[in-house]
Structure 1
Amino acid sequence: MKNTLKTLAFGVIGILVLSFTTMKTEKKNIKIESSKVVWKGYKVTGSHEGTITLKSGSLSFEKEKLTGGEFVIDMTTIASTDLSGEYKGKLEGHLKSDDFFGVEKFPTATLIFTNVKAKGKNSYTITADLTIKGKTNPVSFEISIYGNKATTSLKVDRTKYDVKYGSTSFFDGLKDKAIYDEFDLVADLEF
């Protein structure tokens, strides 16, 4: 009888341990060299676009379902791809200046997922904390994952991060010098 009780007790303990064991999270690092982040900013008279490099990044999965992510963006790498020569250099210098992203003082920006909700088999709705110039605000966007690749795009309101240059939300009389508050980020990631 004692052996039967011991066996039963160990069985119950085993079931309880298995029931309360958390799923293993697998962190997959982003391959920086084969991933790409493109930005596009808009103004009354047109737009500019370019690239920016990730410093590091990872996506977290539980049983192949996305559960988290975190990224560090190297703001010193912001580059224009729609201009060349003197104008390319001027725009890149201005974007790196305190008028825009102040990269000398704020060389990185971060994006940390705070909520991941499955939208479909390979699609998720993400809420994340985006930090630019030391200011953190929530952003929401969709991300799609196929195999070892992920794609996403998000709109960012630059004025929430103290990037006010040329914004009609803060300055009057800009006319055709106005720059729209929102810019786009499009990321093609490989992990």
Structure 2
Amino acid sequence: MQEKKAETGSKNPKKANLLDHHSIKNILDESVSEIVTSRGYVEDVRMSNVRLLLGTIIIVIALFAQFYKKKFPENRDFLIGCILIIYTKEKNAILFTYPPPGSVTSTGLVVSSKLPRFSDLYTLTIASSDPNSISAGKPVEFTKSVTQWFTKEGVLVEGLFWKDVGALIDEYAAEPKKKK
């Protein structure tokens, strides 16, 4: 435990409520984004912008439905389409990136995570944003207990977490490329 406390000496330690898995996942996901972007990957915000646009359209449709005396619009197909886009493209993604500048690969990354409810096992996956590309690497992942990265007080031991995520990024970058 002494080793963990020594590595948490940052100015603003990240603290989570250990009884709330959403709080834990949020801090880990934010840290993963920091780690990946610190490695030279630039965030691709196009999917987030599409999601915001679709959300705005849905809100406008809901406002029309609320304030006009007509039946709710028959927009079921539109809503199903929005859900399918989010489900098939985004899944559990927390970050989409462009390829790093000067890289020989033509695809960025999709970084996704899972922390099931009532579980301490955090799964982090790194895959290519275009899995059909010839320069796409094989997806890599790890599953570890969140208890390895947090102190009893709920402070994230960033050094340990950065080391694990950095090793996963290195593993993805070292994977041999697909051969055709």
For normalisation by structure 2, the TM-score amounts to: 0.31
More strand as a share of residues: 1
Question: Relative contact order (alpha carbons < 8 A, sep ≥ 6): 1 or 2 greater?
Answer: 2
For normalisation by structure 1, the TM-score amounts to: 0.30
More helix as a share of residues: 2
